[in-house]
Amino acid sequence: MVCDSVIDLGLSLRTIQHEPYHTSGQSVGEYREVTDELKSNRGEFLQKKHEARNGRCGKECWSNEGGRKKWGYVKVTMDGFVVGRKVCVLDHGGHSTLAHQLEDMFGMQSVTGLRLFERESEFSLVYKDKEGTWRNAEDVSWKELVENVERLRITRRNDFLLFF
Amino acid sequence: MQGTAVGRAVDLTLLRSYDELISELEKMFEIEGELRSKDKWAIVFTDDEGDMMLVGDDPWDEFCKMAKKLFIYSSDEVKKMSSKSLLDDECTMVQLEPDQRTVKL
């Protein structure tokens, strides 16, 4: 993502998690690394950034390969729950912060919570890569996940075997 | 409100943010404060891929481009929803006109 007319608004994106319009009803506060910057509205930030360029750069500036992934946003669905969510993978630095955000979003769907990537968890996080193959998000490096993820899905651990 | 179909329209192009959309919907149904609380109602939409997503996660401009229909469900209904029962459930459905990007409530 290269653009000559980038205007630095002085906001750090180091560990920003997109604070969407709504806040979750059951936040897993003790797990989230929240700084003052996380409370800024990412959507508003991105809109200002885009407006600052007067749209000269067009979509190429912020969309990744012009595909479904705009600004790193990918869909997340959970088996058995029909309403999907969106997460921005670029907001995260690793599996654990992503897992925390997903816990926030979907944790209330299970009595025990998702506890993704924990050995005892009954849930797995899988992702669909650019070739359309479903893979276990836990098995790949964060870099590989971010570069290849097209979609995320929370599935019951035993059900994942059905993907093959 | 759930289970009623009201012939109203909201033009998304006249709104600049989710905040304004929520305000508009609350005013329309005279339920000020209820949509913002998130405890009582959930606003979901179907996108251009046919998936049902929660309103608010996407950047506003992207939401406007991809949203086709809006649904307002009670939070209890959302928790109980399965893929099969989704479209059968009574809810307030909002139709987005593809040409005008209006929201018909």
Number of domains chain A contains: 1
Q: Which positions in chain A touch B45 (Cβ < 8 Å)? A: none
Does residue A118 lie in a domain region? yes
Residue A48 within a domain: no
Pick from A16, A17, A22, A68 the residue to mutate for testing the B interface (most B CBs within 10 Å). Answer: A22
Residues of A in contact with B78 (CB under 8 A): 83
A1 lies in some domain:
no
The minimal CB distance from B78 to the residues A50, A70, A83 is found for A83
pLDDT band at A151 (very low <50, low <70, confident <90, very high): very high
| Backbone dihedral angles phi then psi of residue B92, each to the nearest 5 degrees | -90, 115
Q: How far is A138 from chain B (nearest CA, A)?
A: 24
B5-19: burial string, b at 16+ Cβ within 10 Å, e else: eeeeebebeebebbe
- Residue span of the structural domain in which A72 resides: 68-161
Q: Is pLDDT above 80 for B5?
A: no
Residue B72 reports pLDDT greater than 70 = yes
Q: Give me the residue label for tokens 């059951």.
A: A26
pLDDT the model gives residue A154: 96
Contact A83/B56, CB-based, under 8 Å?
Answer: no
Cross-chain CB nearest to B60 (options A47, A77, A80): A47
Model confidence pTM above 0.90: no
pLDDT tens, position by position, A62-113: 444 444 455 789 999 999 888 999 999 999 999 999 999 999 999 988 888 9
Residue (of A98, A77, A94) closest to A151 by Cα position:
A77
Q: Is residue A22 part of a domain?
A: no
The pLDDT of residue A64: 41
Domain CATH for A144: 3.10.20.90
pLDDT confidence bin for B30, thresholds 50/70/90: confident
